[in-house]
């Protein structure tokens, strides 16, 4: 259980509804902020600023929702906790492969998770897979791209589209950040028959019960 006023942001209302269904305390605000890192950063920053301006700042912010999973590292329907959020496609292409932004010298692509907040979530969700969660602007849709991501990020457990943006907003406001995901599909070729949305939403509701 996380102490203090908690902000949980999701990409879409369906994810927010799944989180709300698991909550037992009114001290948690759950709000969808949009799909993708830019919308997530802008929406989260606004919510944090409004709360601070009202004299009721949040104690922490959690980015929550469903995600694609590296299925040799986490099963479909499983729960994931980020130990860091990585902007996996922020950088440049080159003849020798992808160059991350930090290697170009223009900034950071890795956003750390608040260690005490992660520790609290790990105690509450001991079965969750823990590792890097990748933030992408374009969902991976081929076996070749999935393999390249897995090689570049050997401890990554999932990919989604908002975590890094939420982390940047949280860092700017000085608010602890964490990312919680449940896996709806394998990363790779788009195979709707392999998607397990209901299982992922049910797992998200179950995980949300540990937040408050």
The CATH number for 92's domain is 3.40.50.1580
Average pLDDT of span 44-63: 97
CA atoms within 13 A on the CB side of 61: 33
In a domain, 113, yes or no: yes
In a domain, 64, yes or no: yes
In a domain, 16, yes or no: yes
Q: For residue 151, give both structure tokens.
A: 């090689």
In a domain, 1, yes or no: no
Q: What whole-number distance in Å separates Cα of residue 54 and Cα of residue 48? A: 10
Could you give the number of structural domains in the chain? 1
User: Which pLDDT band holds residue 58 (cuts at 50, 70, 90)?
Assistant: very high
Q: What whole-number distance in Å separates Cα of residue 83 and Cα of residue 96? A: 29
User: Which pLDDT band holds residue 1 (cuts at 50, 70, 90)?
Assistant: low
Range of the domain at 20: 6-208
pLDDT tens digits, residue range 143-184? 989 998 999 999 999 999 999 999 999 999 999 999 999 999
In a domain, 22, yes or no: yes
Sign of CA dihedral 44, 45, 51, 56: positive
pLDDT above 80 (res 205): yes
Q: For residue 64, give both structure tokens.
A: 């929550």
Q: What is the pLDDT of residue 85?
A: 97
pLDDT tens digits, residue range 86-95? 999 988 988 8
CB 77 within 8 Å of CB 183: yes
Top pLDDT among 175 and 141 is at 175
Cα angle value 113/71/164 (rounded, 5°): 25
Question: pTM for the complete prediction?
Answer: 0.93
In a domain, 20, yes or no: yes
């Amino acid at each position: 259980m996380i102490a203090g006023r908690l902000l949980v942001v999701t990409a879409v209302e369906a994810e927010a509804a799944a989180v709300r269904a698991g909550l037992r305390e009114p001290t948690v605000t759950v709000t969808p902020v949009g799909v993708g890192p830019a919308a997530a950063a802008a929406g989260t920053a606004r919510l944090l600023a409004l709360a601070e301006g009202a004299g009721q700042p949040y104690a922490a912010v959690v980015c929550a929702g469903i995600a694609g999973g590296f299925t040799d590292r986490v099963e479909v329907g499983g729960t994931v906790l980020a130990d860091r959020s990585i902007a996996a496609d922020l950088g440049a292409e080159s003849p020798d492969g992808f160059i991350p932004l930090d290697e170009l010298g223009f900034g950071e692509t890795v956003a750390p998770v608040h260690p005490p907040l992660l520790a609290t979530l790990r105690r509450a969700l001991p079965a969750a897979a823990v590792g890097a969660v990748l933030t992408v602007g374009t969902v991976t849709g081929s076996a070749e791209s999935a393999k390249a991501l897995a090689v570049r990020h050997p401890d990554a457990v999932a990919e989604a589209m908002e975590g890094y943006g939420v982390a940047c907003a949280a860092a700017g406001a000085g608010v602890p950040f964490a990312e919680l995901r449940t896996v709806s599909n394998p990363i790779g070729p788009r195979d709707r028959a392999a998607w397990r949305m209901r299982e992922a939403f049910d797992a998200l509701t179950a995980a949300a019960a540990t937040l408050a």
